[in-house]
Structure 1
Amino acid sequence: MFKPIVKRKELRLWRKKLTVYHIQNGCCKYHIVFTPKYRRKIIYNQYRSSLGEIFRRLCQYKGVEIIEGHLMPDHVHMLVSIPPRMSIASFMGYLKGKSALMMFDKHANLKYKFGNRHFWAEGYYVSTVGLNEATIKKYIQEQEKHDIALDKLSVKEYENPFRDNGK
């Protein structure tokens, strides 16, 4: 027979320490990024304001705090604080699923662009946030400037290096 490496008493103490850790820190913080289906540049004007309102309402209902967020035309950045009882996977399924349904209900013309009610692409990026919270907040706030700078770089990539620039 196999003997357990960790004794029951030690395991109980370890579980208690883990629980105390979650209680002391309150909630788990995550940086999340996800995109519309086919990475379409659709998040602007009325869609942008609708999504912001929908995200706030859905997060409030689940007890999730949006610490920082930014809606770009082709992706969403969020820094959220999620209660430890909820997994990130279940939260993302809820957020993407419900927000898609609410967007299709609110904006009927989206069904022509996306077809069968798939507003969001499969998957998402997530990372935990610890001591680097301020850095991630700054990154999310400056995301638009960063994307504009990258767009300018990509334009230069297609310029002809052999073309005479008016000289």
Structure 2
Amino acid sequence: MSIDENVRTGRHCIFRMHVHLVFVTKYRHKVFADRHLTRCEEIMRAVCEDFEAELVEFNGENNHVHLLVHFPPKVAVSKLVNSLKGVSSRRLRQEFPELVHHYWRAQRLWSGSYFAGSVGGAPLNIVKQYIEQQNQPLRPGLR
């Protein structure tokens, strides 16, 4: 039997949970150069490790970033997102003073919204079909 390297184990569970996250800069300002994105990836990788999650893939353009994160079920995606955006905003502002003029009055690098989509595994119609085809035991007295 081959073991899927994407399947992880916790104390009481076995899981493979991935989320695709997209963060957009405030007002979609064109903020990032390559060095900013490189540092942003390092910061976000460290935040993920703090959550016992893994940043599987990272990339971005001048006004947004994409992340693929493998995370344990004990992690709420909203809390992970809050930390990723908060820590990266603060650290990038400290390390790259030239970015400050993109922060405007709100003192935030990122837009308040984000995209989160679950990824991986079988397509939904296959999972639905699998569940529908389970052999439900007959209840006593229904024969």
- TM-score over 0.5 (shorter chain): yes
**Deviations along 1:131-152, whole A, 9 cap, x unmatched?**
269xxxxxxxxxxxxxxxxxxx
Matched, 1:55 2:55: no
83 and 46 in structure 1: CA distance in 2 versus 1, 3 angstrom threshold: same
* Match in the other structure for 1:77: 66
Contact kept, 8 Å, 1:104 with 1:117, in 2: the verdict is no
Larger % of helix: which? 1
Larger % of strand: which? 2
* Match in the other structure for 1:112: 101
Contact kept, 8 Å, 1:66 with 1:80, in 2: the verdict is yes
Q: Which runs of 5+ in 1 are unaligned?
A: 1-19, 134-167
* Match in the other structure for 2:120: 130
**Deviations along 1:35-59, whole A, 9 cap, x unmatched?**
1111112221321222121111211
Tell me how far apart the structure 1 counterparts of residues 115 and 77 of structure 2 sit (CA, whole Å): 11
Query: Identical aligned pairs, as a percentage?
Result: 27
Q: CA RMSD in A?
A: 2.1
Greater Rg, structure 1 or structure 2?
1
**Secondary structure of the residue that 1:35 maps to in structure 2?**
strand
1:130 is displaced (CA, Å) by: 2.7
Tell me how far apart the structure 2 counterparts of residues 131 and 84 of structure 1 sit (CA, whole Å): 15
1:113 is displaced (CA, Å) by: 2.5
Moved over 4 A (4+): none
Question: Structure 2 counterpart of 1:127, which letter?
Answer: G
**Deviations along 1:62-90, whole A, 9 cap, x unmatched?**
21101122122221111111111110001
